[in-house]
Amino acid sequence: MPGTVTFKPLQADLTKEKTFLGTLDPYCQIILGHKKVKTQVCKKGGSSPIWNDSLTLKKEDESVCTLELKDKETLIPDGTIGRVQIDLDEVVVNKKLSRWYDVMNKDEIMGQILVESYFTPENLETTAEASK
């Protein structure tokens, strides 16, 4: 179902606090189809980062999106802490969903992340804009 999905990564509880270059500086990247959006970097967030970002993407017929938890680096490419697959059908059915997801890197659980997701159907967006 087409519409808009808003993601709010709130906090994470990770198994590792440091990399060989220092403390983790985590951020989230949401990938939906060919679109990507990122949160702000939680500087020195370590194993317990907190964010206050809302990431909004247009959803067409996708049923899954990927959240990548990344570590911001200065001299080398950003590292991937892990990934989460978010079931968009579950978000569409519930309209609002707040859930802890396992952060996976290959077959290893790297911790968990709390994400709030909101879905607004396309027809409601059009109606809201027309009433302005």
Which of the two residues, 47 and 16, has the higher pLDDT score? 47
Query: What value does the mean pLDDT take over residues 88-116?
Result: 96
Q: Decide if 56 is inside a domain.
A: yes
Strand pairing partners for 29? 38, 68
Q: Does residue 13 register a pLDDT over 50?
A: yes
Q: Decide if 31 is inside a domain.
A: yes
Q: Does residue 119 register a pLDDT over 60?
A: yes
Range list of H helices, 1-132 = 88-94, 122-130
Q: Decide if 131 is inside a domain.
A: no
75: confidence class by pLDDT, cuts 50, 70, 90: confident
Query: pTM of the predicted model, to two decimals?
Result: 0.88
At 41-70, the pLDDT tens digits run 999 889 999 999 999 999 999 999 999 999
**pLDDT at residue 21, rounded to an integer:** 62
Count other C-beta atoms under 10 Å from residue 74's C-beta: 8
> How many structural domains is the chain composed of?
1
Could you list the residue range(s) of the whole structural domain that residue 60 is in? 3-126
Which amino acid would we find at residue 38?
Answer: K
CATH of the domain at 66: 2.60.40.150
Q: Decide if 27 is inside a domain.
A: yes
Count other C-beta atoms under 10 Å from residue 75's C-beta: 5
* Separation of alpha carbons 15 and 110, rounded Å: 5
Q: Decide if 132 is inside a domain.
A: no
Query: What value does the mean pLDDT take over residues 82-95?
Result: 96
Which of the two residues, 9 and 75, has the higher pLDDT score? 9
17: confidence class by pLDDT, cuts 50, 70, 90: low
